[in-house]
Structure 1
Amino acid sequence: MKRKKLPPGEMGLPWLGETMDFFNAQRRNRLFEDFVDPRIRKHGKIFKTRLMGSATVVVNGSEANKFILSNEFKLVKSSWPSSSVQLMGKESIMEKDREGHRCLRGVISTSFGYNGLETIVPKICDVVQNHIARNWHIGGQDDQIVHLYHSTKVLTFKIVFECLLGMEVEEEMVDTFERVLEGVFCPPLMIPGSKFWRAKKARREIEKMLVNVVREKRREIEEERRLKKKKEEEEDGNNGMLLCKLVCGMIEGEISEEEVVDNVVLLVFAAHDTTSFAIAMTFKMLAQHQDCYTKLLQEHGDIRKSKRLGENLTMEDIKKMKYTWQVARESMRLFPPIFGSFRKAITDIHYEGFTIPKGWKVLWTAYGTHYNEEYFKDALKFKPSRFEEAIPSYVFVPFGGGPRLCAGYQLAKLNILIFVHYVVTQFEWSLIHPHEPIIMDPLPLPSLGMPIKISPLTQPQKY
């Protein structure tokens, strides 16, 4: 039998492999510089290693991204740590394959089509403005300090719950979800007092709360149907657009109650830290590039002048924020909210003259294209203008790609653009620590919470 030609690379110590090098680089937010790039230089774009006990092949480049991500369910399947699966839920879409994934994604995606997004824009505007009014107090002082990253984490949490689920957010809910997040990449050991133990306890609290909400929503919808109200009225999005669709799917027998709960939990986490980090990095880059900020201010000033007092933004206004989206995309290119993700080979994979054996893990990374001069000239420089032209598929991948492309990426876009608009049209602001380090715990975040100093605009544009 012909021997398999494995990719080059070093497997390191038994079981441990190069895990410590990987984690140390990730913790410093230097995964590409300290782990991936040195191995690319030594072995090429595809190399083998051993991470967390698993033989792993790391692939880099747009062709590799396309090959792996577009062959989901055919050659590879999603591969998350046991702790992540237990905390996000085994019935969440991240664990579903083939038909189960297609069905769930279909239900979820309908909320993020154009009509659904158009409905949700004024709701997001209201949540953002209320959040700023309550938490960004100027008072009698000339300025004040706001911790931008924490503030936007609370905000994105509110947007998911109030706009998509029709649920009021209580203060302790944010802390409970945070405790769950702390355990998603920890060893799944139920030792009292450990991060994973605390995360499981928090997950049970969340599940109990959500089960009650889901059952109450089901009773409401079934009562409406008994009263012979139109189905369109049940699902018009006026009281929790996505939750209504999920519960209607449950009533129709398409999905289970457990699937509804698990996917609500996953949605909160998918939209929570990643979006707030993207917002924080957008402001970081604007603070360091005044010419870009001046251009962005002009765009939002023009939009603001076209609005009546108290009038919310619309999808047409969002479409005008072209330069702002270029800035946000360039910020996500340099600071991707996720570094990549693992897959597991479900058959022997033949790629680039090598064999990736069945059962091995495959890791693709955003850095493999985002920092590559082949795709982005002067890759380490901040140049929003590079997004004036279309970017080839699988090159810019902050939201993944293929069948598992993030279903809520358009919601993230709305959150970023709307928040930027209301901040820059009301406040002067500056970073207190312009070169604040980025760390991983377990996702990337500004190490000091990105405090900013704010003061009212000399000529504030009131809403």
Structure 2
Amino acid sequence: MDLEMNFSLSFFFLALIPMAVAAFLVHFKGYESRSKKKLPPGEMGLPWIGETIDFYKAQKKNKLFEEFVQPRIHKYGKTFKTRIMGSPTVLVNGAEANKFFLSNEFKLVVSSWPSSSVQLMGKNSIMEKQGEAHRFIRGIVASSLGCLGLETMVPKICKTVQMHLHNNWQGKQIISLFHLTKMLTFNIVFECLLGIDVKPGLLDTFERVLEGVFAPPIAFPGSKFSRAKGARLEIEKMLINVVRKKKEEIDVHGEKEEETLLSRLVTAMINGEISEEEVVDNIVLLVFAAHDTTTFAIAMTFRMLAQHPNAYSLLLQEHESILSNKRPDDELLSLEDTKNMKYTWQVARESMRLFPPIFGSFRKATADIEYEGFTIPRGWKVLWTTYGTHYDAEHFQDPLKFDPSRFEEPIQVQPYAYIPFGGGPRLCAGYQLAKLNILIFVHYVVTQYNWSLINPDEPITMDPLPFPSQGMNIKISPKLK
């Protein structure tokens, strides 16, 4: 949320005030009748605008929980109402709340994203699909990340990581870990999962789309949303060509033995089960969902390792042990090797607890919902948050402390208390790919390089997703073999 965004929001809100007041008066009787039911406590603020500006200010500083949610929890309790981006919204916190709303997807609530996000990610993507349509597309994605899919994925990711380190780390003394890792995870999604070659400039085009996903959906020339729409059209044209070329290949030669997610989606299109638009929109969404959040998770894992040398020492021992059990000429990991990275995954999980890649997600009530003695009216938004449990001492003793042992087997964490990948029917379909990315990347870095963060306490900002404000620069030097 930069200066342009603040000006755009201010102009947008001021222009809508007269209309919002009129709409408020017209629907007053409807609200009056609903008010007879016990709504959650909280402040709604001005018509339409509500508390949006406070929400965005806290978001920009990556302090949504500390500066927006937590003060209201202290004042009203774990369930409270507000108004954000024009919608009456109930924020819910706690493992029971997460379980109730995430497991009732398609029953009491449905996914509900801002108009700008839907337009840029695609109205035919899985995030807008409900019920059987959602399950079908999710099943296609999951089939690429089952046991057989992961077996073939690991060596591909290993080769991509090795090439990335050779091209971008070798011979360097200081690198930007976050920016280079974003390039790597982007390439892994396209090349290893989808089977699509990455052309120069493609990542920059996707970044322009991302800048507009939470911008006001006003397409005046030069606005963030307008630039994002233009970038989205560029991507769409490219992907349509890729999809049609893949369709021709399958029509002529049939499906290859080693299928990619792209070939699975195109096969479903050929069979008349999904449309070309659905193929394109789901590729766009998957790329955004898989690479940005994974990049942040990797960056925060290295941040925690830099700040906790004892944890790094244990992690390094684990990877040196894996390396010692492999032949000298065997540079690629196996899926079994990644399963032996138990402590590394504990470190990564604890890093994602302290620094969740997503803040939470919006749902919309499809009927009046009775919850904890309150009524959430039909049509209202519900926002669940990761921090609402990740930072709660009820679920994690001394929650601000970095302690990977929380995730030792058998894990004692209450279900729906740890939710960096969401939960319920919309649990992130690509979390296994994210896990492989993290484990494999960490392995090659710690076994091949000495490294140190230049600023271990670098501020985290958000626009619209969290990232280290200075790119997380690190000093590196190759280890002697």
Bin the TM-score by the shorter chain.
over 0.9
Per-residue deviation, residues 207-253 of structure 1 (Å, max 9, x unmatched) = 1000010011011111123xxxxxxx53523xxx1001101111111
Correspondence for 2:96: 63
- Equivalent position SS for 2:283: helix
Confirm or deny that 1:285 pairs with 2:304.
Answer: yes
Letter in 1 for 2:228: A
1:411 pairs with 420, 433, 443, which one?
Answer: 433
Letter in 2 for 1:290: P
Moved more, 29-38 or 122-131: 29-38
Per-residue deviation, residues 75-117 of structure 1 (Å, max 9, x unmatched) = 0111101111011000000000111111111111111111111
Confirm or deny that 1:167 pairs with 2:200.
Answer: no
CA deviation after TM superposition for structure 1 residue 381, in Å: 0.6
Correspondence for 1:195: 224
Letter in 1 for 2:226: W
For the 8 Å contact 1:121–1:314, the answer to whether it is kept is yes
Confirm or deny that 1:74 pairs with 2:107.
Answer: yes
Task: Give the unaligned 5+ runs of structure 2.
Answer: 1-32
Confirm or deny that 1:273 pairs with 2:292.
Answer: yes
**What is the rounded CA distance, in whole Å, between the counterparts of 1:411 and 1:374 in structure 2?**
31
Confirm or deny that 1:127 pairs with 2:160.
Answer: yes
Correspondence for 1:312: 332
**What is the rounded CA distance, in whole Å, between the counterparts of 1:89 and 1:253 in structure 2?**
19
Letter in 1 for 2:434: A
Correspondence for 2:453: 431
For the 8 Å contact 1:93–1:104, the answer to whether it is kept is yes
CA deviation after TM superposition for structure 1 residue 310, in Å: 3.7
Correspondence for 2:11: none
**What is the rounded CA distance, in whole Å, between the counterparts of 2:382 and 2:393 in structure 1?**
23
**What is the rounded CA distance, in whole Å, between the counterparts of 1:156 and 1:235 in structure 2?**
25
For the 8 Å contact 1:431–1:453, the answer to whether it is kept is yes
Correspondence for 1:362: 382
- Equivalent position SS for 1:171: coil
Confirm or deny that 1:347 pairs with 2:367.
Answer: yes
Correspondence for 2:234: 205
**What is the rounded CA distance, in whole Å, between the counterparts of 1:44 and 1:115 in structure 2?**
46
Correspondence for 1:184: 213
Letter in 2 for 1:368: G
**C-alpha spacing 1:394/1:135, structure 2 compared with 1 (3 Å):** same
Letter in 2 for 1:109: A
Task: Give the unaligned 5+ runs of structure 1.
Answer: 226-232
Correspondence for 2:356: 336
TM-score when scaled to structure 1?
A: 0.95
2:262 pairs with 235, 243, 252, which one?
Answer: 243
CA deviation after TM superposition for structure 1 residue 25, in Å: 1.2
**What is the rounded CA distance, in whole Å, between the counterparts of 2:79 and 2:352 in structure 1?**
24
- Equivalent position SS for 2:242: helix
Correspondence for 2:142: 109
- Aligned residue pair count: 445
Per-residue deviation, residues 166-215 of structure 1 (Å, max 9, x unmatched) = 12212211111111111111011111111111111111110100001001
Letter in 1 for 2:241: N
For the 8 Å contact 1:436–1:447, the answer to whether it is kept is yes
Confirm or deny that 1:46 pairs with 2:68.
Answer: no
Letter in 1 for 2:135: R
**What is the rounded CA distance, in whole Å, between the counterparts of 2:200 and 2:159 in structure 1?**
18
**C-alpha spacing 1:286/1:253, structure 2 compared with 1 (3 Å):** same
Moved more, 280-289 or 248-257: 248-257
Per-residue deviation, residues 266-295 of structure 1 (Å, max 9, x unmatched) = 011001110000000000000000000000
Confirm or deny that 1:136 pairs with 2:176.
Answer: no
For the 8 Å contact 1:235–1:245, the answer to whether it is kept is no
**What is the rounded CA distance, in whole Å, between the counterparts of 2:222 and 2:291 in structure 1?**
25
Over 3 Å off, 4+ runs: none
**What is the rounded CA distance, in whole Å, between the counterparts of 1:30 and 1:342 in structure 2?**
18
Confirm or deny that 1:87 pairs with 2:120.
Answer: yes
For the 8 Å contact 1:342–1:363, the answer to whether it is kept is yes
**What is the rounded CA distance, in whole Å, between the counterparts of 2:111 and 2:196 in structure 1?**
31
**What is the rounded CA distance, in whole Å, between the counterparts of 1:199 and 1:310 in structure 2?**
44
- Equivalent position SS for 1:324: helix
1:156 pairs with 165, 179, 185, which one?
Answer: 185
- Equivalent position SS for 2:261: helix
Letter in 1 for 2:185: T
Letter in 1 for 2:153: I
Correspondence for 2:317: 298
CA deviation after TM superposition for structure 1 residue 126, in Å: 0.3
Confirm or deny that 1:445 pairs with 2:474.
Answer: no
**What is the rounded CA distance, in whole Å, between the counterparts of 1:329 and 1:297 in structure 2?**
17
**What is the rounded CA distance, in whole Å, between the counterparts of 1:113 and 1:272 in structure 2?**
19
Indicate the RMSD between aligned Cα atoms, in angstroms: 1.1
- Equivalent position SS for 1:425: helix
For the 8 Å contact 1:15–1:54, the answer to whether it is kept is yes
Per-residue deviation, residues 32-85 of structure 1 (Å, max 9, x unmatched) = 111111111111110011111111100000000000000011101111011110
Q: Identity, % of aligned pairs?
A: 71
TM-score when scaled to structure 2?
A: 0.91
For the 8 Å contact 1:235–1:244, the answer to whether it is kept is no
**What is the rounded CA distance, in whole Å, between the counterparts of 1:86 and 1:244 in structure 2?**
25
For the 8 Å contact 1:26–1:440, the answer to whether it is kept is yes
- Equivalent position SS for 1:382: coil
Correspondence for 1:228: none
**What is the rounded CA distance, in whole Å, between the counterparts of 1:210 and 1:452 in structure 2?**
35
**What is the rounded CA distance, in whole Å, between the counterparts of 2:122 and 2:371 in structure 1?**
32
**What is the rounded CA distance, in whole Å, between the counterparts of 1:412 and 1:166 in structure 2?**
17
Correspondence for 1:6: 39
